[in-house]
Structure 1
Amino acid sequence: MSLFHLSDYFLLRTPLLPAAFAVDLLTIKERHEIEEKLRHLFQNEQLKEALFLASPAFSVEVQKWLEYKKESSSKMIASLLKYAIRMSTRSTPFGLFAGVSFGNIAVSEKKVSLIRANANKAVLKLDATILTGIIEQLSKDKRIYSQLYYRINPTLYLDGKYYKYYQKGSNGKKGQHILKRIRLTPVLDRVIQHFERNKRTSHYQSLIDLLQGLGASTTHAPLFVNNLISLGIISSELQPNVIGRGYLDSLITTLERVDKAENYLNPLLTIKRWLHSSQSVIEIRTAILKLLQPLAPDLDMTNSLQGDLLIGMDENNLSDTALNHIRDQFQDLLPLCSQAKLTDFDQFRAAFSVKYEDRMVPLTTALDPDIGIGYGRQEGVYNITDEILGDVKNITPTGEKKYGDHHYQDLVIEKFVASVKNQFTEIRLTGKDLDHIAKQRKQTAHTIPSSFYAIGNLLRSSCQENLFFNLGTIGGSSSGNLISRFAHLDEELHNKFKRIGQQRATAVSQCNTCRDLSLPRQ
């Protein structure tokens, strides 16, 4: 019985242009012929938009060349050639150069039914950097921040005479959070108690009233609250947990309540309409930049928009017969599955059992490297306050490197030597080889996540031959990790993504799902 169960859908990833275009382009030897072919290619409005979204400045120069207002250069032609090859050979979605389409796995004897339509859909959104810049601007405007609700830092906890908490670092390391501490004072303690009594949330004015009731002046009360914000002890409702396509809607909803003068609300509503308009990407970006400039004048607007491409398909179906065959091959190859490495979480779990046994302790206490266990390497925890060790980095013991245990390494070397001696053009792993590897290692089902994806290419040398699935990548902790990137593009795909979350909540390790295929357009 197979450990794997196929889902009823797949995600097709395909370049914007046919693969045959790259083959034809690379056979041309004369520069002037390449230039003419590229000139003809980039007259296409869809390709102009893809190029514009990737590099607006370069796109402007290319447009001048297309209109014979500028001579070509070797650098320009080389760049256009790279873009053209990328748009016809790489399935990995990037801007509008390649896209995705939701496909169905049906009970059918027909092995494949993939037919492209002429209608593709570009889905645009504001870049996360732009959204973050707008949030920062709003957070400086008293008319806005004084009307917001604030929540206390969820990592805040008491350790002796100090409150400790994690705050996102500003030392240039992306995503790093630093453990900080602040001395306990009667006023700070009363503020934190106020949050605890109100479900860890409070309006700005309520905090002002609390502090004034404790004796603070009308000048000092706002200063104290703003200091709590800057220290990361509290944060406003504008601060997102995750910035995605839906965050602009969330931001607009908040501004509808607090932006009485509509200084920010009206521009953002207009931006939202432009993002959903049917105008060209060039027109949309131009209009949005005019609206963004007053909102965040100091931001670099070069990459203000991000885009994804939903590929139009007349038919997008694969047969369960063909995919069941692939599933069975995954089962046969299971002995080659690498054992999972010991992760930071595994080490933390083991240390927790040793230190605390069956006791219940707050997670923040266990994560504290002073009074608990710590987690991972925790770089940067004390580099702000420690004057002695602040500049010392990467203190690790030296020693011999330890490599993983590959039970099939001898077999690989043996097969390679045999292929050289006998001048084989291919190397085959037989069922006997796999059985031998399986006996050398202990493979159990729990090493496989409850759902995962497989990425590969569907290949054939001619229209008459059967398709082959060339496996490129398999694994991941969840199939949802990959699909979440595109779930907003298609309602049906979004619903499938929600179903993954429900399945993960009740999944067992014997039910594993592979969900993704990648296809260069033929």
Structure 2
Amino acid sequence: MKSISFFSKYIVRTPTFSYDEVDKVLSSPSCFEQIISNSIFAEAIFIASQSLYKRIYQQNIEKMTKEDIDRIQSSIVKYFSRMSVRSTPFGLFAACSVGEFSSSNSFTIKKDVSRVIRLDHSVLCKIAEVITNPENCADNHIMYYPNTSLYRVFGNKARYIEPSQGKELGRQYLLEEIILTDYLIDVLNSCHDGASLVELSNMIKNKYGTDSTESIEFLHDLVRSKIIVPELYYSVTGDDYLNRIINLPFLKNTRIKKTLNSIKWHTLNDESGIVAYTNIQKELSSIGWEKIDDNLIQIDLVRSSKDFFIGEKIKNDIKEVFYLLRSISPKKNLHRTMDQFKNKFSEVYQLQEIPLVLALDPDIGIGYPVGATRATQSSMMDYVEFPNLNNENETSSIVNRFLENNIAKTIAENQKEIDLTSIFNKIRIDEDDLLDQYPEYSSFFTKIRPFILNNSGEVIIELSSFHGNSALNIINRFAHTSPEIMSICKEIASWENNLGGKDSIIAEIVHLPEDRAGNVTYRPLLRDYEIPYISSASTSRDCTLNIEDLYISIVNNRLKIRSKRLNKWIIPRLSNAHNFVYSKLPIYRFLCDYQSEISDIQAFFPKPSNLKSSTFFPRLKYKNIILSLASWHVDKKEFEHIFDINDDCDLLFQISQWRKHNNIPNRILLCQGDNELYVNLSIPKSIRAFISSVKKSSSFLIKEFSYPNTTPAIMDENGERHCGEVFVFLKIKDN
């Protein structure tokens, strides 16, 4: 019998500014002066967009057109609103804290925040590239290894991925084929565990009688073609990347090492981002690297949670909602891309065990996704997999019929809410059956937003879904920011490392899709094993799994991956939030997709397909839990008459008429992909920022900001309210 339980702590994410101030400031006649005079706001803009910072703080306003001023003011309102309402961490806009469980609730955070400053990962990659370039350092200084994407094909040929960096298109990948000459085979074998170019050159000279110039030039060609790559190549796991560069032995007593240590000092001292940026820029300029990159630093914010506790009632509510949502979610999550591959693999190879690299090769094997061509030729959107939400089960059909019967009634009565308590109370929950498909030691997460009812003080939470083949995905990028967050990550990883039992190994997928992506994909070494792909592993050679060592087969109608060297089943894990479905790299995409073959916990409210195009979808509530806030799809045609109104009084009147006609609340969120913009429809400056965001769209989605007559439950020590969200981590265990 299985059950779900909670990891000991959780993450609280809060905007930098208080919610209490946002409407007050935006309503003030001196709104813009108040905002831009705030030093934290100025610093946040400097880090996020230096071009906007220059327009706000350095450009002569007398030389600007009215259109320029309007655009700048809209940007100021949007950024200020984001820093006051939106909890997603980005630069100085929002901060992370850690909370605990207790018998009762307490949602108190510290007002002050602390910066954690790092060099931007794109800068680190460029520094590593410059330092390890054979033209810039002696040939005996750097250790080289085979490109981790290289694999042998039939005959005397091998293939590998050669990455290149374009100015406009970003990183591009080309599948190259090479002839395995005796020279090359010996080089690849000799640098398997690392070798300098001098060591490799001596090997070639001693074995083949070549002179030094010829052998070194041959090796330099291999480096330029990225057939062999230097240590620290595209590293995204392990110790701090800057420290690893500083500790390269050949940098000892060099000016570069002294400069890098000075840069490290600036990142560790809690200077403002502007000061840190300026000082780091000076340090880089001192050694001729002033043009290395415009994005020099990455900043994360942390704040103390002080007395932040979630009580037993909310814990019980979370578990209850999980079982309810799981009961109406598709019985099995459908992964079309992986299912197509399994079917094709069975058809072509039947019960054979095949090297993964050959099965996924687009020319030799099946490719991945099935039908995809070479890396540089596949269209980004052709193979993006969207979840199948129409896989209704009997329970969800009952709930959907209830919804369909009540939505028309809700609209007719000018209401916004459907209470699902009565229909959910009729659902029979079989917890064993719902958890049966998930293995023990699985982990997942959910997000809640707590609010306080103004009249009673009762806590209302918004909770819409549960996700994850791992709870680490949402938190691992913040592990470096505090010992408390690192501790949570280690607790989750330690739990997951038991997945699959003694015959299985959890292996971290190591890949850097883009240099700047390292800001959110760099993470600590939490697994015993790694599978590097066009990247460097942080594990020992014995614990590093080469892609040529991986074999796949169908066992008991399930796709399995095995390490031939270790004779163990492999469970790959990508412990970050990279959206890998856009990747054009078959092996990387396959390993990431395969995670869902082991455990992919999803519980959500599947919106009925015949209601997806509805103009209005009501709020869904169960007891004191909001499953979905009311939302509206707005056609531009019904709103565009408001776009060019200059008079504030006329603007407010037209907006009030539109709100009244559509029963739209005063405070809303504009939803554009993952971004949400807070809008107060009674404040002209907020309305104009809203209009500037939707003006070029044919339609847009808005939803109510919160449950009616509530305020955010999170409060700082000064009594100011803060918006916020709590990420709670759960696990499945056998009782």
Same fold? TM cut 0.5: yes
Gap change, CA 1:395 and 1:296, over 3 Å in 2:
closer
Work out which of the residue numbers 453, 466, 475 in structure 2 matches 1:474.
466
CA gap 1:66/1:320 in 2 versus in 1, 3 angstroms: farther
Query: Is residue 183 of structure 2 the alignment partner of residue 187 of structure 1?
Result: yes
Distance 1:305 1:68 in 2: 32
- Encode CA deviations 1:75-118: one digit per residue, 9 max, x unaligned: 33332222211111101111111111011112x1x2x2122324
Native 8 Å contact 2:44 2:93 kept in 1: yes
Q: 1:414 to 1:140 in 2, by over 3 A?
A: same
Name the one with the larger helix percent. 1
Who is 1:127 aligned against? 120
Q: Which runs of 5+ in 2 are unaligned?
A: 501-597, 604-711, 715-720, 724-735
Residues of 2 paired with 1:154 and 1:62: CA distance?
Answer: 46
Give the whole-Å Cα distance in 2 for the aligned partners of 1:91 and 1:504.
28
Alignment of 1:375-386 (within 5 A): 375-376=368-369, 381=374
* Deviation, structure 1 residue 175: 6.2
Amino acid at match of 1:166: I
- The 5-angstrom pairing of residues 274-293 of structure 1 reads 274-293=266-285
CA contact (8 A) 1:333 1:434 kept: no
Q: Which runs of 5+ in 1 are unaligned?
A: 384-389
Shift in CA distance, 461/354, structure 1 to aligned 2, threshold 3 Å? same
The CA deviation at 1:194 is 2.6
Paired residue for 1:208?
Answer: 201
Q: CA deviation at 1:163?
A: 1.4
Q: Does 1:168 align with 2:163?
A: yes
CA positional deviation for 1:333 = 2.2
Shift of 1:483: 0.7
Question: Which residue matches 1:18?
Answer: 18
1:4 partner amino acid: I
CA contact (8 A) 1:3 1:511 kept: no
* 2:647 is aligned with 1:446: no
Whether the 8 Å CA contact 1:91–1:518 is kept in 2: the answer is no
Q: What does 1:58-457 correspond to in 2, within 5 Å? A: 58-60=52-54, 62-63=56-57, 73-106=69-102, 108=103, 110=104, 112-140=105-133, 142-144=135-137, 146=139, 147-159=141-153, 160-168=155-163, 170=165, 177-195=173-191, 199-213=192-206, 214-242=208-236, 246-254=240-248, 257-260=249-252, 262-293=254-285, 294-301=287-294, 303-338=295-330, 339-376=332-369, 381=374, 404-407=390-393, 408=397, 409-421=400-412, 423-430=414-421, 432=423, 445-446=436-437, 450-457=442-449
Q: CA deviation at 1:267?
A: 1.2
SS of residue in 2 equivalent to 1:99: strand
The more displaced of 93-102 and 291-300 is 291-300
In structure 1, the residue matched to 2:8 is: 8
Residues 452-504 of structure 1 show CA distances to partners (whole Å, capped at 9, x for unaligned) of 11113111242851121112443122110001021111102102101211111
Q: How many residues align?
A: 493
Q: Is the CA contact 1:169–1:175 (under 8 Å) kept in the aligned structure 2?
A: yes
Instruction: Output the CA distance in 1 between the equivalents of 2:382 and 2:600.
Output: 40
Q: Which moved more, 1:270-279 or 1:144-153?
A: 144-153
Q: 185-194 or 285-294, which moves further after superposition?
A: 185-194
| Contact 2:2/2:436 (8 A) holds in 1 | no
Contact 1:445–1:510 (CA under 8 A) maintained in structure 2: no
Conservation of the 8 A alpha-carbon contact between 1:480 and 1:500 = yes
Aligned partners of 2:2 and 2:224: how far apart in 1? 55
Deviations 1:138-191 (A, max 9, x none): 233535362100111233232213112233355776666443210122222222
Contact residue 6 and residue 327 of structure 1 kept, 8 A: no
Q: Aligned to 1:179, what secondary structure does the other structure show? A: strand
**What is the one-letter code of the residue matched to 2:11?**
L
TM-score by length of 2: 0.60
Letter in 2 for 1:304: L
Q: Is the 1:459–1:468 Cα contact (8 Å) retained in structure 2?
A: yes
Distance 2:185 2:89 in 1: 50
Query: Aligned pair in 2 of structure 1 residues 143, 230: CA closer, same or farther (>3 Å)?
Result: closer
Letter of the structure 1 residue corresponding to residue 19 of structure 2: A
- Mapped partners of 1:228, 1:510: distance in 2: 40
**For 2:448, what is the secondary structure of its paired residue?**
strand
Q: Which 10-residue stretch deviates more, 120-129 or 463-472?
A: 463-472
Q: In the aligned structure 1, how far is the partner of 2:238 from the partner of 2:278?
A: 22
The offset of 1:123, in angstroms, is 0.6
| 8 Å Cα contact 1:102/1:490 also seen in 2 | no
Residue 489, structure 1, aligned to residue 481, structure 2: yes
Quick one: distance in 2 between partners of 1:243 and 1:443?
35
Q: Which amino acid aligns with 1:132?
A: C
Structure 1 CA distance for aligned equivalents of residues 238 and 292 of structure 2: 19
One-letter code of the match for 1:362?
A: P
* CA root-mean-square deviation: 3.8
Report how far residue 68 of structure 1 moved: 12
8 Å contact from structure 2 (residues 25, 34) kept in 1? no
The structure in which a higher percent of residues are strand is: 2
Report the CA distance shift for 1:274/1:230 in structure 2 as closer, same or farther (over 3 A).
same
What's the CA shift for 1:56?
3.3
